[in-house]
Structure 1
Amino acid sequence: MKTEEVSELLADVAARLILPRFGALGSDDIEEKKPGDLVTVADRDAEVELARVLRAEEPGVLVVGEEGVFTDPSSLDALPHAEHAWVIDPVDGTRNFARGRPDFAVMLAEVRGARTVRGWIWQPVHARLYVAEKGAGVTCNGTPLVPPAESGRAVPLGASYLPVPGEEHADVRLVRSWGSCGIDYPKLIEGELDFLCYRSMFPWDHLAGALMVTELGGRIATDAGADYHAGVIGRRLVSATDPDLWQVARDALFGD
């Protein structure tokens, strides 16, 4: 599918299956997959519809969706070896969505040979669409983005979903993230933050945003230094607006 067609698909699915449920979910519309991990009817319906359209365009393509992997992890295992795959996060920031908070996103990544070649982040309530194509940069609502300018902050500012042991003594400042990678990564690439730190490395959370970071000259890698792509796992994931800041953040939080 052409990039514009995929963008239109995300907006259409969000308009039909996600936004009508925003602020209108009943108790029967929300479940816990496991303690603290929510799923809603909007997550499930949106993923099914996105997968249906993508498979119709290319029968046999691998589709890896967050909700589908929960019930059948085989597609996640197959992702690093797939010639062509789509990775879906139908509602990234489900907890925010379920609570009527606007900070959630629909995310999609296209993967070929374990490498992300295109990525989309659509923030339906904020009406902001971020698109990255490998080798062609990143746009927001059609406007090309440039690498963020130096912030002038006295110490690098980062965000993390969960506290990092020892962060209070690190030579960086950490704030709590927004509960959605589809909100966090845009804040990073637009210069509101210098780095991000995560414990989980699920591809639906990070592949689209990772491509945006690297297209703008940044780095995303595990705390052991392995550059992130489909199939990479580790203890912590650090993303920064440039390689020097990545090293500063990594060393400050996890030692030399």
Structure 2
Amino acid sequence: MEKVAEILAEASAEAVEPRFRALTDGEVMEKGPGDLVTVADREAEVIISRRLRELLPVPVVGEEAVAADPSLARALVEEPAAWLVDPVDGTSNFVAGRPDFAVMASLVRSGQTVAAWIWQPITKAAYSAELGSGAWRNGSRLVRRPADDAPEKWRGTIKSRCLDPLEHHRLQTNARAFGRTSEGLRSAGMEYPLIAEGEQEFILYWRTLPWDHAPGSLLITESGGVSARLSGSPYHPDPPGGEDGLLVASDPAVWEHTRRVLLGRCPAV
């Protein structure tokens, strides 16, 4: 566990952090409309992938490698084990000079995340989780404290940007039942720890790319929370194009109540 954490921090120090607020125009590209990638993403992924294979020689499913060859993501369901890598989670923040970005990796065995790591370069916070063994922040065990009994005091994030206007309106209207909601930090690696550390009660995601959600989901479940599809089935890191929708919550009762409130009906626009 410690070795992978070192790999992420060292790759960040070598390829990512020197370019923070120092990117040139030629170092920022688009993979698709509005989907940014930088030389830092690509260089960090190469470094991390090489060093992870030295630890365990199994396929690496990296965000940037999959952008070039989508078939690589099939390793998550076809291989006994695979690494997942997100070299810069929150690239748009990184490009804009905002500090909300992370470097992440996880290990998947038989379709299940068994270990996960999140490195936040600016805060120097290292999160890790191991299936059945717990979750940690900088070596200290994370155990999520119980949520307040009053839902009107709960804090959450609703990622509804990808939804149609009517569904977006419905979610935002239903969210008024809670204390405070936002559209998040545009980085799963910054958002998931907020639940594990007791700063929020829930997050509703819609788009769920595996490199974004495998690390944080394990961090949440190993600290006592829930990460499950809207149907109630536990989260598994499927290749892109699979089931959408993911609700993450501090405990099972919060998960059930939040799903019931958010997905209830509201007046039409």
> 1:161 touches 1:179 (CA, 8 Å); kept in 2?
no
1:169 aligns with 2:173: yes
Range that drifts further, 121-130 or 143-152: 143-152
What is the 5 A alignment of 1:15-54? 15-54=13-52
Q: Relative to structure 2, which stretch is displaced further, 144-153 or 215-224?
A: 144-153
Aligned residue type for 2:5: S
Question: In the TM superposition, what is the alpha-carbon distance from 1:219 to its structure 2 partner?
Answer: 1.2
- 1:71 shift after superposition: 0.8
C-alpha offsets along residues 216-252 of structure 1, whole Å, 9 cap, x if unaligned?
2211111122211122832311110111111111111
Over the matched positions of the two proteins, sequence identity in percent amounts to 44
* Equivalent residues of 1:63, 1:85 under 8 A apart: yes
Displacement of 1:166:
1.0
1:244 and 2:241 aligned:
no
The answer (yes or no) to whether the contact 1:161–1:178 under 8 Å persists in 2 is no
Partner of 2:144: 147
The TM-score normalised by the length of structure 2 is 0.89
Q: Which amino acid aligns with 1:121?
A: I
Aligned length: 253
Q: CA deviation at 1:125?
A: 0.7
| Deviation per residue, 1:87-122 (Å, 9 max, x gap) | 000000001111111110001001111111110000
2:60 to 45, 50, 63: 63
For structure 1, the residue ranges without an aligned partner over 5 or more in a row are none
Aligned to 1:213: 220
Unmatched 5+ stretches in structure 2: 162-167
> How many angstroms apart in 1 are the aligned matches of 2:155 and 2:144?
16
- The 8 Å contact of residues 167 and 174 in structure 1, kept in 2 or not, is answered as no
Tell me which of the two structures has the higher relative contact order, counting C-alpha pairs closer than 8 angstroms and 6 or more residues apart.
2
1:181 to 182, 188, 196: 188
Alpha-carbon deviation of 1:184? 0.2
Change over 3 Å in CA distance of 1:39–1:153 after alignment to 2: farther
- Look up the equivalent residue of 2:136 and give its one-letter code: T
| Secondary structure of 1:85's aligned partner | strand
Aligned equivalent of 2:96: 99
Deviation (angstroms), 1:176: 1.4
Whether 2:219 is the aligned partner of 1:227: answer: no
How far does residue 40 in structure 1 lie from its aligned partner after superposition? 0.5
The alpha-carbon deviation at position 168 of structure 1 amounts to: 3.3
Distance, in Å, in 2 between the alignment partners of 1:77 and 1:222 is 20
The Cα shift of 1:153 comes to 5.2
How high is the TM-score relative to the length of structure 1? 0.94
Aligned-residue RMSD, C-alpha: 1.6
> How far did 1:152 drift?
5.7
Distance 1:9 1:235 in 2: 31
Deviates more, 1:163-172 or 1:7-16: 163-172
1:151-197 deviations in Å (ceiling 9; x for gaps): 46552321023354412331334211001000000111111111011
Partner of 1:77: 74
Q: Distance in 1 between matches of 2:146 and 2:32?
A: 41
Contact 2:147 2:201 in 1 (8 A): no
